[in-house]
Structure 1
């Protein structure tokens, strides 16, 4: 089951980069508005399905406040950072920075929950991060130290930190035995509300783009990237721990590169092959950690 969830997250989130690109290419929609519609649709679908299946659980006022914070961290402001960073640096370099979620989660789990990382997590993370740097070394070398590079790196790092904080809130939900799908649904809804408020404060209308490509990409991001992807990810995080679950972020760019090789003629260099082998080796180490990490489910 863990392996299926892991692969689902990698494959789905690995393809959302293309969907985001297609959405931005289709229409010049403000970032707040694009994120608003994505998570409004995602939360609406989730809440209706859970209600029909009698799976929507009641939450306390305190739980809803944590869902609001989770929505801002994972389903709102972090994506604002990523969307703006994509205009400043390459998606490959952005993916390298996003892979720091592994380290962020390990550190934050230690800080907030006193969970010491597994000893084997360290070599797995180092192999993965080193592999990502090798994989995108051409992009890193091409990106000269210009102000826009620094802004792009900073925004990507900030968005990744927000993602990690959202992971900690999800861990809190699961430690309190709150239903993952219910908390995710409300968090997505609150994230959408926050984005709507930001858009209105900026004087932006909330109307979606009347473009089939934009609507199609947004629907894919909402249903697969958000409903299925985040549901699988936070379920996996509850089963094996946030530090281990975040390791799948190292594989997202590999999926994107595979699609780029097939459809955009991406050229593999020797350093990219070395990077791929290092990431696969890191995954083998990570899978070896899973039996011990299953204890986290009852922690």
Structure 2
């Protein structure tokens, strides 16, 4: 969600285009599992805050050392809005939601982002009626969501409560991410690495006091984190934030929206494969059916936006 207000007029190199696209496909698909590993024994908001403060600082310092000019006050204000929506709210809700539902299920819900984008853009932003194909995808996607949320026959009451909390948090995060996405081209934003870095710094700075107020942590709790949590955070800093987020930023400026939006139905597949293989996550047949129907809806929405 790092699109800038002025698109690049030249046609991007196809190799660069697909390298960035594959980066977003694979790396962002893997972040759900590593967020789960990072927060298994550490408070989620604290670890997400540390992740973004580290990654954002590295990106900002690199950008300034390579000659990127210092952003204006207007740029900072715009970046603060997007950083809070995308990172503080959206990824903060995601990191807490993964404490209640499997990471691959959270990825499936994240894959429904086009449903939120289509609805918000129709109702509030562009006020433009979607195509019939996109509307059909919206209806199918909502059916898939229902099957994902609907409890299985053998689900206990406590399990249902946890599932609904997790789904609710991820849905709020998706809503915030969609708003940030639709606001991005309407704001004045600097391009490139420094934009991503500032958004991460602001997102992390806003999350940190929230974590200190709500979670049993101090500023130095990072030294008590187990090795698995630290290793997962390092992976997320390098591959999730610096490489993956920067690839998405480049694509948002150079790729068509239809091509870019395909990440929404590739990430969940990657996350599900990793979650079931390495995290021992188990899905019911109903969840698989809901996921498949939801992804069909996402594909139709994407095709309908052409």
Does structure 2 retain, via aligned residues, the 8 Å contact 1:237–1:244? no
**Residue 99 (structure 1) aligns with:** 111
Counterpart secondary structure, 1:251? helix
Distance 1:277 1:94, change over 3 A: closer
157, 160, 166: which one aligns with 2:180 = 166
Q: Which residue matches 1:12? A: 27
Give the aligned partner of residue 240 of structure 1: 256
Distance in structure 2 (CA, Å) of the matches to 1:85 and 1:287: 26
Looking at structure 1, the residues matched to 152 and 241 of structure 2 have their Cα atoms a distance apart, in angstroms, of 29
Query: Which residue does the alignment assign to 2:85?
Result: 73
Is 1:48–2:64 an aligned residue pair?
A: no
Shift of 1:191: 0.8
Once the 2 structures are TM-superposed, how far is the Cα of residue 185 of structure 1 from its aligned partner? Answer: 1.3
TM-score (norm 2): 0.74
Please tell me whether the aligned partners of residues 114 and 298 of structure 2 are also in contact (alpha carbons under 8 angstroms).
no
TM-score scaled by length of structure 1: 0.76
- 1:204 paired with 2:217, answer yes
Identify the match of residue 36 of structure 1 among 29, 38, 49: 49
- SS class of match (1:58): coil
Q: State how far apart, in whole Å, the 2-side matches of 1:128 and 1:251 are.
A: 15
Q: Whole-Å Cα distance in 1 between the matches of residues 82 and 109 of structure 2?
A: 21
2:8 aligned residue: none
Whether 1:191 and 2:191 are equivalent positions in the alignment is no
Q: CA deviation at 1:282?
A: 6.7
Correspondence for 2:167: 153
CA RMSD of aligned residues (A): 3.6
Cα distance in 2 between the residues matched to 1:21 and 1:253 = 15
**Residues 112, 287 of structure 1: alpha-carbon distance in 2 compared, 3 angstrom cutoff:** closer
Bigger RCO (CA 8 Å, 6+ sep) = 2
Structure 1 counterpart of 2:269, from 254, 279, 299: 254
| Alpha-carbon distance between aligned partners in 2 of 1:231 and 1:79, rounded to the nearest angstrom | 16
Structure 2 alignment gaps of length 5 or more: 1-13
Q: 1:253 to 1:199 in 2, by over 3 A?
A: same
Distance 1:278 1:192, change over 3 A: same
Q: Is the 8 A contact 1:72 1:190 kept in 2?
A: yes
Which structure carries more helix by proportion? 1
Distance 1:278 1:186 in 2: 37
Equivalenced residue count is 284
Contact 2:112 2:141 in 1 (8 A): no
Over 3 Å counting, the alpha-carbon distance change for 1:191 and 1:267 in structure 2 is: closer
